[in-house]
Amino acid sequence: MPRHFLTGTELDSAELGALIERALELKAAPRSSQALNERCVGLVFEKPSTRTRVSFEVGVVELGGHPLILRPDELQLSRGEPLRDTVLVLSRHLDAVGVRTGPQAVLEELAQAGSIPVFNMLTARHHPCQALADLLTLRETFGTLTGLRVAYVGDGNNVARSLALIGSRAGLEVVVASPEGYELEPGSGATLVRDPAEAVRGAHAVYTDVWVSMGDEQTADARRAAFAAYRVDDALLDLALPEAIALHDLPAHAGEEITAEVLYGPRQRIWDQAENRRHAQKALLEWLLP
């Protein structure tokens, strides 16, 4: 049976810890592994992408493999070919396939129908590859993951959900502060609060995401009003530990969910976090295709 990475919970705590340590090794020596030598990895993008596409495409090349970018409008999917049929064909040609799409059900169907590893490059429900990069950034900043408090301030979305699910397995204490109507569901592995200040007190990292994600444009004004008190600025960071860092999965809107002073200032590790997508995902690909 192929391994899949659909929500991130496919990795147990030991595997997750080993993957992050391997990512550190791969960051120190980016071209040291040829784990994907003579292997082809399909990357299906139904959603726009900057960091995901670049980090996966470059990462596959650094591992010695060939990345194949696939867009729906270039496939027979755009002309009504069933997803199951497409997956059956891809399974005959590729060694693994990643998908950036909307519904989580699309990813689940791919995994069930195909015979190769399927990995989640983003769905509306989960963003587990981002969480791996988050863990790597925290690990290299603080030297450990166990016992770190991470405060996520803002929308209880796919980024928050994956951080909570995967972070709790890695030993993080994840606290999510969201306004009414935008909360993460209970049972996600996070402590849920309303007040951003409560979440941030004693935190090692303060994390945020955009207030208006892809697909939320029609409710943009209502969202901006609801999240107005959830901006990550220097005053909010001052409530965290003195060594606390700011995180953001990007793209960012300076002046909305985060101030420019924090986004580009000395208290953040956001740009390291963006780079770490590549290194964490390379470790993931080694795990998927041993």
DSSP annotation string for 230-290: G-B-HHHHTTS-TT-EEEE-S---BTTTB-HHHHTSTTB-HHHHHHHHHHHHHHHHHHH--
Q: Are residues 168 and 245 in the same domain?
A: yes
Q: Sorting pLDDT into bands at 50, 70 and 90, what band is 11?
A: very high
**pLDDT given for residue 80 in this prediction:** 83
Q: Is residue 118 part of a domain?
A: yes
Q: Are residues 89 and 136 in the same domain?
A: no
Q: Is residue 8 part of a domain?
A: no
pLDDT digit string, tens, across residues 175-199: 999 999 999 999 999 999 999 999 9
Q: Is residue 1 part of a domain?
A: no
**pLDDT given for residue 77 in this prediction:** 76
Q: Is residue 178 part of a domain?
A: yes
Q: Are residues 45 and 107 in the same domain?
A: yes
Q: Are residues 120 and 180 in the same domain?
A: no
Q: Are residues 136 and 182 in the same domain?
A: yes
Q: Are residues 133 and 162 in the same domain?
A: yes
Q: Are residues 197 and 110 in the same domain?
A: no
DSSP annotation string for 86-105: HHHHHHHH-SEEEEE-S-HH
Please state the domain count of the chain: 2
pLDDT digit string, tens, across residues 18-56: 999 999 999 999 999 999 999 999 999 988 899 999 999
The domain in which residue 263 lies consists of: 128-274
Q: Are residues 121 and 189 in the same domain?
A: no
Given a cut of 80, whether residue 216 has pLDDT beyond it is: no
**pLDDT given for residue 202 in this prediction:** 98
Q: Are residues 95 and 159 in the same domain?
A: no
Q: Is residue 199 part of a domain?
A: yes
pLDDT digit string, tens, across residues 231-257: 999 999 999 999 999 999 999 999 999
Q: Are residues 136 and 108 in the same domain?
A: no
Cis peptide before 251 (omega within 30 of 0): yes
| pTM over 0.95, yes/no | yes
Q: Is residue 2 part of a domain?
A: no
CATH code of residue 199: 3.40.50.1370
Q: What is the mean pLDDT of residues 94-107?
A: 94
Q: Are residues 150 and 132 in the same domain?
A: yes
Q: Are residues 221 and 87 in the same domain?
A: no
46: DSSP letter = S
Q: Is residue 258 part of a domain?
A: yes
Q: Sorting pLDDT into bands at 50, 70 and 90, what band is 165?
A: very high
